[in-house]
Chains A and B, each alone.
Chain A
Amino acid sequence: DIQMTQSPSSLSASVGDRVTITCRASQSIRNNLNWYQQKPGKAPKVLIHAASSLQSGVPSRFSGSGSGTDFNISISNLQPEDFATYYCQQSYSTPRWTFGQGTKVDIK
């Protein structure tokens, strides 16, 4: 199975900050990378698909980049509702899609 490694595991930030989370795949996955946001007690919600395409309804302060093995999600002008855990997920190795271990963004 393709292994997905996120960094950092957690970070503290303030409202208005710009934060970036990195995801690395154990082999090339081209651009088959999705990002999800999960809040406590809730199901994950897809934010970005195909590495850089914003899911409908997701604010434009979220952006994604990367291809091959290295990917990023950035959140500009961090808002109170953005404090959550973020997961990357590869959709290259169908059907056995795998997730990263998550990055928790909390308030500094």
Chain B
Amino acid sequence: QVTLRESGPALVKPTQTLTLTCTFSGFSLSTSGMCVNWIRQPPGKALEWLARIDWDDDKYYSTSLESRLTISKDTSKNQVVLTMTNMDPVDTATYYCARIGSGSYRFDYWGQGTLVTVSS
């Protein structure tokens, strides 16, 4: 079955760079049409799409955060990595990775999320 799991630090200091890893199983990111996304949710607030990487290595970013984000994949390890630079307390959130399956115009599988707190 399809699973995704986020990992990374629970606490980062302001101005530091955050690196999160999504490790997945049950599908291959080399399969045509597959995509993995990062989405975040500040405590008590709504969901915000951050970034996406496609099977063909196309990459897309939130317009408002593009300058701070980098997404990459390691197909052999079934991992997608997101880095976010210059972290600020407003970036405190639960960060999710989520899949878009081939031909599926929806986030059909999600990780359980990882809470990242930005504080000195």
With A1-B63, A43-B111 already in contact, the answer to whether A99 and B52 are too (CB < 8 A) is no
Q: How many residues of B contact A (CB 8 A)?
A: 20
A-B pairs with CB below 8 Å: how many?
Answer: 51
State which of A43, A46, A97, A101 has its C-beta within 8 Å of the C-beta of B46.
A101
- Chain B residues whose C-beta falls within 8 Å of the C-beta of A45 in the assembled complex: 110
0/1 per residue, A1-44, Cβ < 8 Å to B? 10000000000000000000000000000001010100000111
Which chain A positions have C-beta within 8 A of B106?
34, 46, 49, 55, 89, 91
List B36-54 residues whose CB lies under 8 Å from chain A.
46-49, 52
Q: Are A44 and B48 in contact, CB atoms less than 8 angstroms apart?
A: no
Closest B residue to A6 by beta carbon equals B46
- Binary interface profile of B, 99-111, with partner A (CB < 8 Å = 1, else 0)? 0000011111011
- Interface flag for B62 (CB, 8 Å): yes
Closest Cβ neighbor of A1 among chain B residues? B63
| B49 close to A43 (CB less than 8 A) | no
Contacts of A50 in B (CB 8 A): 105
B32 within 8 A of A: no
CB distance from B40 to the nearest CB of A (A): 11
Contacts of A46 in B (CB 8 A): 106-108
Name which residue of chain A comes closest to B47, CB basis: A99
B contact residues vs A (CB 8 Å cutoff): 35, 46-49, 52, 60, 62-63, 96, 98, 104-108, 110-113
List the interface of chain A (C-beta within 8 A of B). 1, 32, 34, 36, 42-46, 49-50, 55, 87, 89, 91, 95-102
Other A-B pairs, 10, CB within 8 Å; known A34-B107, A50-B105: A42-B112, A43-B112, A44-B47, A44-B96, A49-B105, A49-B106, A55-B106, A96-B60, A99-B47, A102-B46
- A-B pairs with lowest CB-CB distance, top 6: A43-B110, A95-B60, A91-B105, A99-B47, A34-B106, A49-B106
